[in-house]
Every structure is written in C-alpha cells, then in structure tokens.
Amino acid sequence: MRGGRGVRLAAPAIPLEVGPLPPPERTETPDAPSADPFGLDPELRQRILPAVRFLHDRYWRVEVTGAHYVPASGPVLLVSNHSGAVPFDGAMIVTALELHRQRTLRFLYDRFVENLAPVAAFYNKVGGAVATRENAVTLLRMGEALLVFPEGVPGVAKPFGDRYRLRAFSPGFARLALALDVPIVPVAVVGAEEIYPVVGRAEGVGRFFGMPYVPVTPFFPLLGVLGALPLPTKWFIRFGKPIRLVVEEGEVRWQRARHEAMRLRRRVQSMVVRLTRRRRSVFFG
C-alpha cells in the first residue's frame, strides 16, 4: 500500500488552519464517471493485496480488534500512534480495514516523498495524497476514511529505548474534525516498534537522498540488504470507539483543537500501554 501528521505511509503535522473550506475539484464529465483526483487505482490495490495480506496474516500475524468501530461509510479520521523507522504500520492499518471492514482507507504522506517520484506515484495509486490541508479536506468531503499520524516524523524516528512513548500530537487533525464535523477513531499499534530497532539516525545520508534521515539499526547498514528486512514481530492493532469533537460556548476553536489533541494522545497512549502489557513475547505475542 497512516496524517494529520496514516514504502512510507507517514504524514507530518499538517497546518490545518480553520477557515473557509474549499469544495473538492470535480473531474466528472457527461460521458465518463468522475475520476479520483489523487490517482487512486483500485485494480493496483487488488493486485498487491496478496502481498500485504501475507505480511498481515503470516509475517506479522496482526491481531485486529475493534474494527467494527470504524463506520462502514462516510467521512472519518483515523488517528494512530506512529512507529517502526520505516512505517509499515500505515500499510497494516490500511490492510486491516480492507480485510475487516471492506473499506478503502486513504492516507497522507510527507512532502519529502515527492522527491522520490516513483514512490510518490505508487502512493497515489494505492490511496495516498500529499499531506496538505486542502487534500485532507477534499478526501473527507468525498466521504473517505482518512488515516493520519499526528506524531509525524518524530514518531517513526524514536530511539529504541523510547518505544511506545508517544510524541506530542499536532492539533491539525482536531482542527479538521471540528471544521468538517467528522468523527475520529483512535488507533493503537503494538509490534511495529521492534521491526527495526533504531539505534541512530544518519541524517546527512538521508538529506542526500531527499529524506529526513536513514535509520541505523543493529543490522542495517552493517548487513546490507539483509539488514533491511523487518523482524517478524507479533502485531496488535486496536480501533477505539469514535469520538465527536464540539466547541463549548464562548470557546475559541483552536484552543479546543489543542486541548483535544492532548486528550487524544493520552487516550491512544493508554490503548498502547494496555496492548503492550497483555503480550508476553515480542515475537509470539
């Protein structure tokens, strides 16, 4: 194949300022149905589904709970913790919704991915869009489910000793939910932090390739391509009950958004802690 700050499916903190929301662009003509404005290719998604399903079902043996909390239709924001150095977490959340709710989950990706043209083109075809306020608004107004990672790059760049300690959430997703009155479904992912135990970041090398950094693990780059293989950990993904945000009388919307971002971070952190406590082994669950 998640925001916003959900192959890289991450999205940075999006500066979603409150203001007039533009309508989505229409590409519909009298002779042809409307095309997806971001280039989604449903046939390509189906062709790669066996590969990502192998990762989901066999390699990481993802145990999914709470998927029924995600609405079967209509706009919704999925807000998740972020981890894994190379964020396969987004791919597994997308796959979980495909398998358990038969729903196409869209996602936002970092602007730097545009420097990697083949990767950006692939992301667009499997459901992604560059992380901008306008793109997020368009997708939600199209009635899509949208995955965002409010931790952004700091979430995937955490050192191994800080695993499962969530970074601050950008309030952009909360501003978006308030502006468009869409529900938020919190998502917790456990297992991804250990697929690449990050012990350092080669930021200079990353900048050379147009990326924020290249992760350094006990196996990469020491073991070359072999060291780039993710470890076969056991994963858990938990979807929480939907939340609706409201502004209290006399309250400024941006203040409410900042408060709700902190509150949702605590909720996702609590979900993550519960999942980590229930497992007995990183590799066997």
Biggest alpha carbon distance in the chain? 59
Rounded to whole angstroms, how far apart are CA atoms 120 and 139? 17
Residues in the chain: 285
Of 91, 92, 263, residue with least CA distance to 184: 263
Per residue in 136-188, pLDDT (tens digit) is 999 999 999 999 999 987 777 777 888 899 999 999 999 999 999 999 999 99
Q: Angle formed by the axes of helices 172-180 and 133-141, to 10°?
A: 40
Tens of pLDDT along 39-63? 999 999 999 999 999 999 999 999 9
**Domain assignments of the chain as residue spans, ordered by start:** 42-195+230-278
* Residue 189: pLDDT over 60: yes
Instruction: Answer whether residue 214 shows pLDDT above 80.
Output: no
Bridge partners (DSSP) of residue 78 are 147, 185
Which tens digits make up the pLDDT trace of 9-43?
Answer: 444 444 444 444 444 454 444 444 468 999 999 99
Distance CA 255, CA 48 (A): 42
- Tell me: the pLDDT tens digits for 252-261? 888 999 999 9
Upstream peptide bond of 221 is cis (omega within 30 degrees of 0): yes
- The fold of the 42-195+230-278 domain, in CATH, is Glycerol-3-phosphate (1)-acyltransferase (3.40.1130)
